[in-house]
Structure 1
Amino acid sequence: MKSIVFFGDSLTAGYQLPASAAFPSRIQEKIDALSLPYKVYNYGVSGETTAGGRQRISSVLSRFGQIDVFVLALGANDGLRGIPVRETTHNLQDIIDQVRRQHPAARIVLAGLEFPFDLGPLGGHRMARYAQEFKALFRDLADKNSLPLVPFLLQGVLGQRHLNLPDGVHPNAEGQKILAQNVWAVLQGGLVEK
């Protein structure tokens, strides 16, 4: 059985939802329906930043003899905290490097994010520039490392009240299904045996 490791934050963990409702579990359902030989492992931790992920990655990687697919879905909490884009980029690159060192055969998929706030009229120029740079960092990393990119993990869910928990930030079970579709659109091409 091949392994797919999802490494992320509350979006991956399925914050306040049963594990079966988180998008990695929804992807396992798609895999099972196609009788593909993959098992999904969800290493999402609520509240995790890219710095936290960088500290945690080696202990996760060491649990596997071989990782076939590694889905990196971190950065949302960096954006929420306004962590400098340069720092977020550096942390994500370090995680990618560690995966490549310990599991050189793994296919790494990067999940992109966009700045989660409605900037509105008070957002200001500085905030708008941050949002632009934050969105661009994922494409830049994907290009630099030749990685498949999920353009925007929260596509179709962000800002949709009926697809989010009352906090307006975390997807509900229906929202998680859409996250699964967003990731599956990129992931499936590398899973279906030729």
Structure 2
Amino acid sequence: MAIIFACAALFSLSAAPPVRAQSAPIRLVALGDSLSAGYGLPNEAAFPMALERALKAKGYNVEVANAGVSGDTASGGLDRIDWSVPDGTDGVILELGANDMLRGLDPSVPRKAIETIVERLKARNIPVMLAGMVASRNLGPDYAQKFDQLYPDIAKKHGLVLYPFFLDGVAGDASLNLQDGLHPTAKGIEIIVARILPTVETFLATLKR
């Protein structure tokens, strides 16, 4: 059943200069659910590959691994964190929580799981960029407030670069989503990438090589 997301406010972040002339690429992992995995799309149209192309077009030497698993909750992502994010990873783009919300799970559940993922990656000296989600408003204002707030709270507590709403500019637009109304088309992914790109560049500028 299609869920229509409320629009999130746009955030503008200054882009950092491209990282050039590296002997080895920056190795990023997109750890997420079907939104990262590219549900219903060919591999080359999925978010990680589209982001990698956009970054390379701007001069970055980067590889973005697809560690998205369709249907994954935040707890599911936590369960597979050790093998989904290999040693040598330079940074993780963490996109989880949408399935928790769609299942109506108490927001405290994804909050705990996402924060634990962040803590475990930080313990391995792997920086995290957090991609947030916005709750469907038909779940009620109390649920929406608690769910929406977990992302900025975790980002603030752990000093993370935050992109507030992964589906910004795409959610609720039938022309940019598959027939289920939940998953972006290839065009929708391109819009997501264009909007998130400045925040990813800000994140790249924080990485220590």
**CA shift digits 1:132-178 (9 cap, x unpaired):** 11111101110011101001101111100000000101111111111
Unaligned runs of 5+ in 1: none
1:54-93 counterparts in 2 under 5 A? 54-61=78-85, 63-64=86-87, 66-93=88-115
Tell me if the contact between 2:131 and 2:162 (Cα under 8 Å) persists in the aligned partners.
yes
1:69-148 counterparts in 2 under 5 A? 69-102=91-124, 104=125, 106-115=126-135, 117-119=136-138, 127-148=140-161
Q: 1 CA distance for matches of 2:73 and 2:131? A: 14
Letter in 1 for 2:106: P
Q: TM-score, normalised by structure 1?
A: 0.89
Q: Of the candidates 31, 36, 46, which is equivalent to residue 22 of structure 1?
A: 46
Task: Count how many residue pairs are aligned between Structure 1 and Structure 2.
Answer: 183
1:170-185 counterparts in 2 under 5 A? 170-185=183-198
Which residue of 2 is the match for residue 154 of structure 1? 167
Q: What root-mean-square deviation, in Å, do the aligned CA atoms of Structure 1 and Structure 2 show?
A: 1.7
Q: TM-score, normalised by structure 2?
A: 0.83
Q: 1 CA distance for matches of 2:195 and 2:99? A: 20
Q: 2 CA distance for matches of 1:175 and 1:97? A: 31
- Which structure features the higher share of helix residues? 1
**CA shift digits 1:85-109 (9 cap, x unpaired):** 111110001111111112x1x3310
Q: 2 CA distance for matches of 1:180 and 1:27? A: 6
Q: 2 CA distance for matches of 1:165 and 1:19? A: 16
Shift >2 Å, 4+ stretches: 189-193
SS in 2 for 1:4: strand
Tell me if the contact between 2:36 and 2:46 (Cα under 8 Å) persists in the aligned partners.
yes
SS in 1 for 2:80: helix
Unaligned runs of 5+ in 2: 1-24
SS in 1 for 2:133: coil
Aligned-residue sequence identity (percent) comes to 37
Letter in 2 for 1:101: A
Which residue of 1 is the match for residue 77 of structure 2? 53
Q: 2 CA distance for matches of 1:101 and 1:190? A: 18
CA displacement at 1:11 relative to structure 2: 0.3
- Which protein, 1 or 2, shows the higher relative CO under an 8 Å CA cutoff with sep ≥ 6? 2
CA displacement at 1:78 relative to structure 2: 0.3
